[in-house]
Structure 1
Amino acid sequence: MRSVGVEEELLLVDAESGEPLALSTAVLAMAHRHAEGECAFESELHRQQVEFATRPRTDMDELADEIIRRRVEAAGHAANAGAAVVALATSPLPVSPTVGTGERYQWLEQQFGLTAQEQLTCGCHVHVSVESDEEGVAVLDRVRPWLSVLLALSANSPFWQGQDSGYNSYRSRVWGRWPSAGPVDVFGSAGRYHEQIQALLDTEVLRDRGMIYFDARLSHHYPTIEVRVADVCLDPLGTVLLATLIRGLVETAAGEWRAGEPPAPFPTTLLRMAAWRASRSGLDDRLLHPLTMHPEPAETVARALLAHVRGALEESGDLKAAEDGLGSLLSAGNGACVQRDLMQRTGSLRAVVTECVRRTRG
């Protein structure tokens, strides 16, 4: 059974006003003070956010328990520092982000200007174990068309600087300003992958391998592939569904590689169209179907993803949970749908944030 680990980025906000607060230093100090062993929490580019990472898990119920526990811990540490945490991929309320004081963060701000300064976004990164770089790159080549569907499912950032952006995932549009972000070409082999990574580093535009911001990449720390395309999910069970589907995608792609099936030859330009469509529409309209790159209803495309990984989910025992989770998501809507519904009912972005603070714990 492949192991799965999740990294979630959370916003720090004022519990009453919903405005982001630059309190990550204080929150992380609380987290380190109460940690038993290695601390699960880390800083991020901006002081208005924190990140946590789960342990590698093979059981999805255990992963769900840990995600909820970490969110509750984050809320407790934030409360002790005078803040709250919320799983929103962008701040609905206006904010002037504060870049962290670390050397790396200061370098990013200096090199990339407004791209770094305005990059207060929260994503969800899912790691799935692979047996080798060769298997990992084979998986990367074969999951390319499906990544936009994951973005649509997770979309949770309709508001930007106090306005409705018109997108379900405006985070992905902001994130796409980085020069190394987005979908990539088929690599064909681990050797070719590493050659291209080195070619990017040789440009000296990127500081290090940590700035390889592909939608999915080989991790430079762990024997995993890391799928980075998703918004942080408002509902922790949405994160578990995402992780379940991604593990299914990895197992399915690895099986295709072992069977000698080539990756779909879609050019990166088409994948960019699919990613834009997913960020714009989420689950509200049409998406580009990963098997044809033609527009079809979002629910049809989402269920095509489930059908694509059905065999892997049956083998891991996750099929029923994935069917139920996807059904609930399609019925209730993604985080963007929830936020817009709250805004329509309350007329207040502050109320949107404070309600989402409550929902972040699940």
Structure 2
Amino acid sequence: MLEPFAQSEPLTFGVELELQLVSLSDFDLNASSPDLLHLLARKPFPGNVTPEITESMIEINSSVHSRYGPLREELLDIRDTLVAAADQLNIGLAGGGTHPFQHWPERRIYPGQRFQELSSLYGYLAKQFTVFGQHVHIGCSSGDDAMFLLHSLNRYIPHFIALSASSPFVQGHDSLFDSARLNSVFAFPMSGRAPFTLSWDEFANVYFAKMEATGIIKSMKDFYWDVRPKPEYGTIELRVCDTPLTVERAAALAGYLQALCRHLLERREPAPAEDDYLVYNFNRFQACRFGLDGAITHPKTYETMSLREDILTTLRRMEPHGEALGSMDALRHLAQVVQEGGDATYLRREFEEQGSAEGMVDAAIRRFRGSN
């Protein structure tokens, strides 16, 4: 049985980031999360840090915030604390949705019960899931508002994929995708998008109850949807973003989502409908494959639009909300990304300039710590 939807302060938000742990000798992934977590446990940590499915990654969680500025500052504090600890262990920390040349058979599953169960269930997919994403939670006053926001965001999912895309390289090769990470997520049977309903009661007591009765699903954690409700927190969770190369960009993406949700809750746009999803997978692919250069189809009008121009237009429309929420700097940051190119472009450029994938990883490590 699904727990009741907890009431939370509307539009409060928090961020989760999955980070790469990298050897500074060969710049491959390093199975050092047990040592790093042990070291971090010795003193207070701003936010929270937890293991992830393999020992070459960790997850950090911010506190709950209502304003972009304090979230950004906390993420910077978390980063600095992590970097200081990693320096003691002589390991590097990096963002990016994929490590460019790691080989999944070399990964070690973290020794936690849930991780071991996932490894047993999914086989090689569990190790192949050494990919790195950003999740953003948005507080909702009710389950019905959560379902409304979840489905209203379908139109804007390509924005967040393209703006965060930082996984162009896989297994030592340029994938030609700006965000190859999401291809790994799609391999899981309960990935994709949530079933369409705008009623929390229908979702919880009909859909979830049926899925639970099948024995396939035990909790919301078993769904790997692009956006999913989290009733225990009273939030929806956006899960499509690659982990950016900097925490500043991670904060900006969260600020954009907060402004967008404020706009959507005014209910001035046409209501979401099941037919919106006719173009969903195509638009998602365009954003993953081509990033900001993608072309998407509007779910209501079927108009073909430049993703780059659609993002810029939407950022301008969000300015009144940015003013009200104190997140104008976040919107300006993302407008600059659209105009100058994102993390996937940066990584490809570094690969060319450094002449090797190792040099590219080194550049990503320095970028995460604020050195370039």
TM-score class, shorter-chain normalisation, is over 0.9
Deviations 1:2-50 (A, max 9, x none): 32111111000012321000111111111111225x8610001111000
Q: Kindly indicate whether residue 16 of structure 2 is the aligned counterpart of residue 19 of structure 1.
A: no
Tell me if structure 2 keeps the 8 A contact 1:127–1:224. Answer: yes
Aligned to 1:129: 139
SS in 1 for 2:367: helix
Please identify, of 301-310 and 137-146, the stretch whose mean Cα deviation from structure 2 is larger: 301-310
Distance 2:107 2:16 in 1: 21
Q: Paired residue for 1:201, among 206, 212, 223?
A: 212
Please identify, of 309-318 and 101-110, the stretch whose mean Cα deviation from structure 2 is larger: 309-318
Aligned to 1:335: 343
Superposition deviation, residue 82 in structure 1: 3.2
Superposition deviation, residue 332 in structure 1: 3.0
Aligned to 2:6: none
Q: Kindly indicate whether residue 262 of structure 2 is the aligned counterpart of residue 254 of structure 1.
A: no
Deviations 1:260-315 (A, max 9, x none): 95225434342111111110011134344465454322321211332453442232
Q: Paired residue for 2:126, among 116, 130, 140?
A: 116
Distance 2:153 2:294 in 1: 23
Question: Where does 1:224-263 land on structure 2 (aligned, <5 Å)?
Answer: 224-256=235-267, 261-263=270-272
Tell me if structure 2 keeps the 8 A contact 1:24–1:47. Answer: yes
SS in 2 for 1:226: strand
SS in 2 for 1:198: helix
Superposition deviation, residue 179 in structure 1: 1.4
Aligned to 1:67: 75
Q: Kindly indicate whether residue 182 of structure 2 is the aligned counterpart of residue 169 of structure 1.
A: no
Distance 1:305 1:267 in 2: 18
Task: Tell me which amino acid in the other structure corresponds to 1:250.
Answer: C
Residue ranges of structure 2 left out of the alignment (5+ in a row): 1-9
Distance 2:343 2:331 in 1: 19
Distance 1:233 1:66 in 2: 16
Q: In the superposition, relative to structure 1, how do residues 30 and 270 fare at CA in structure 2: closer, same or farther (>3 Å)? A: same
Superposition deviation, residue 204 in structure 1: 2.7
Tell me if structure 2 keeps the 8 A contact 1:288–1:294. Answer: yes
Question: Where does 1:262-341 land on structure 2 (aligned, <5 Å)?
Answer: 262-289=271-298, 292-318=301-327, 320-341=328-349
Please identify, of 326-335 and 113-122, the stretch whose mean Cα deviation from structure 2 is larger: 326-335
Distance 2:358 2:83 in 1: 18
Q: Paired residue for 2:162, among 142, 152, 173?
A: 152
SS in 1 for 2:111: coil
SS in 1 for 2:287: helix
Q: In the superposition, relative to structure 1, how do residues 231 and 282 fare at CA in structure 2: closer, same or farther (>3 Å)? A: same
Residue ranges of structure 1 left out of the alignment (5+ in a row): none
Aligned-residue CA RMSD in angstroms?
2.1
Aligned to 1:78: 86
Please identify, of 45-54 and 69-78, the stretch whose mean Cα deviation from structure 2 is larger: 69-78
Tell me if structure 1 keeps the 8 A contact 2:67–2:326. Answer: no
SS in 1 for 2:293: coil
Superposition deviation, residue 58 in structure 1: 1.6
Please identify, of 204-213 and 152-161, the stretch whose mean Cα deviation from structure 2 is larger: 204-213
Q: How many residues align?
A: 358
Q: In the superposition, relative to structure 1, how do residues 290 and 306 fare at CA in structure 2: closer, same or farther (>3 Å)? A: farther
TM-score after normalising by structure 2: 0.90
Q: Paired residue for 2:189, among 158, 179, 182?
A: 179
Q: Paired residue for 2:40, among 2, 11, 31?
A: 31
SS in 2 for 1:100: coil
Tell me if structure 2 keeps the 8 A contact 1:8–1:52. Answer: yes
Distance 2:192 2:317 in 1: 23
Distance 2:218 2:188 in 1: 12
Distance 1:134 1:278 in 2: 28
Deviations 1:68-119 (A, max 9, x none): 1112212222222331110111111223222111111111111111221211
Distance 1:41 1:347 in 2: 34
Distance 1:228 1:161 in 2: 23
Aligned to 1:88: 96
Identity %: 24
Distance 2:317 2:115 in 1: 40
Superposition deviation, residue 139 in structure 1: 1.1
Q: Paired residue for 2:357, among 346, 349, 356?
A: 349
Superposition deviation, residue 345 in structure 1: 1.4
Please identify, of 289-298 and 209-218, the stretch whose mean Cα deviation from structure 2 is larger: 289-298
Tell me if structure 2 keeps the 8 A contact 1:130–1:224. Answer: yes
Deviations 1:104-144 (A, max 9, x none): 11111111112212110111011111111121111112111
